[in-house]
Amino acid sequence: MAFTSISVAPSNAGGASGLHCVRNYTGLRPSTGLRLFNAGISIKRSSRSLVVIRASDAGEVSLKKTGLSIEECEAAVVAGNGPEAPPATPKAAAPAGTPLVQSLPLKRRPRRNRKSPALRASFQETYLTPANLVYPLFIHEGEEDTPIGAMPGCYRLGWRHGLLEEVSKARDFGVNSIVLFPKVPDALKSPTGDEAYNENGLVPRAIRLLKHKYPDLVIYTDVALDPYSSDGHDGIVREDGVIMNDETVHQLCKQAVAQARAGADVVSPSDMMDGRVRAIRAALDAEHFEDVSIMSYTAKYASGFYGPFREALDSNPRFGDKKTYQMNPANYREALIETQADEAEGADILLVKPGLPYLDVVRLLRDNSSLPIAAYQVSGEYSMIKAAGVLKMIDEEKVMMESLMCLRRAGADMILTYFALQAARCLCGEKR
């Protein structure tokens, strides 16, 4: 099939110094097998240039400047002596054995808008950029980074060194938002999770270090007691096993204030206690942290997809489960109750967790709230894609990007994902 290329040569020959490229992040990048020119790149060049057009494989047709004035060119065309254009591309032949049929009487053929990469890009409805991604990072007190067995490619990062290095990598590719999750020493855990609001604890120390190094970094924090609780639950556990709501909220307020004081930009209650958003907002305002945002885990389900995360933090419940405070996966309308409550109590962002198995809930919140919607692509989702990729059951990169795009399409403005750095590299055109 004939192929046409257009090359632009600056008049001041001698390199590409006349080109100034600005990368744009717009959707999934095209396959490397396609021959695209200037895709995702804006090019500024000198107005004086030589244009050469090459067409067809049968031979070259070279159109060079003749030096004629506009009037002379127009006169030649009027006199019937206009220049010849390259030949039209011939219609491609069908394979042998293709039946001869009359065209279907279709007024609409949606495939017309999908027939080339340029058209598909023109009509793309959903876009994914590194700015849509929040990178969850696990931290610990150690000096070395330790791999997490159930989450290939993820580590517990040493808060002094490994954390800074990983954040630097992410920022290089446009990811400037992170959320911190601590692996707390067992000796510091207690039934009431008091270490959660220790202002010299692991998370506040890490926040201060990050803000000193990267002042414009957006830091989200997790507000819940499970990493600090000797029982492994998100709240204080009564001796009969009941999770105490109001007493837990009291602790969460102190935790949120300690994080804000360290420099957190967004505090994120993930505990699912009733009334915690209103109480945290009041506590922050009372300490003059009116500018600190609240991202509420509005629809957090009691899901089986959290297993690898709990290994990463060593925060499995010592007994029972979390079904008395996390939502039933069978429930859909209940998410509206939580949405209305969080909006009324002062949440700035609403989050759905898990992500991909709950796309209907993401869309439900998007259709019923004007607040930004976040989705959490959780550890189980990440690990399944990684495992299937290692076994060559799927193309890991394609499925990763498709899964993130689907979350955006469902209505998520931002996505918390362990793929953040890897996906940003893809969006920037860099292979793994």
Active site residues: 300, 353
Residues 304, 104: Cα–Cα separation, whole Å: 49
Residues in a beta bridge with 297 = 351
**Nearest-CA neighbor of 424 among 181, 180, 215, 169?**
169
What number of other Cβ atoms are within 10 A of residue 124's Cβ? 12
Backbone angles phi, psi at 297, to 5 degrees: -75, 85
**Nearest-CA neighbor of 36 among 1, 2, 5?**
5
Residues 342, 295: Cα–Cα separation, whole Å: 10
3-state secondary structure of 348: coil
Residues 157, 143: Cα–Cα separation, whole Å: 8
Residues 84, 81: Cα–Cα separation, whole Å: 9
Helices 396-410 and 359-368 pack at an angle, to 10 degrees, of 30
Check if the beta carbon of residue 165 is closer than 8 Å to that of residue 143: no
What is the token pair recorded at 291?
């500018």
Those residues whose C-beta lies under 8 Å from the C-beta of residue 418, and which sit 6 or more positions away, are: 135, 136, 151, 153, 154, 377, 379, 382
What is the token pair recorded at 137?
């990072």
Question: In which residue are the tokens 């209940």 written?
Answer: 334
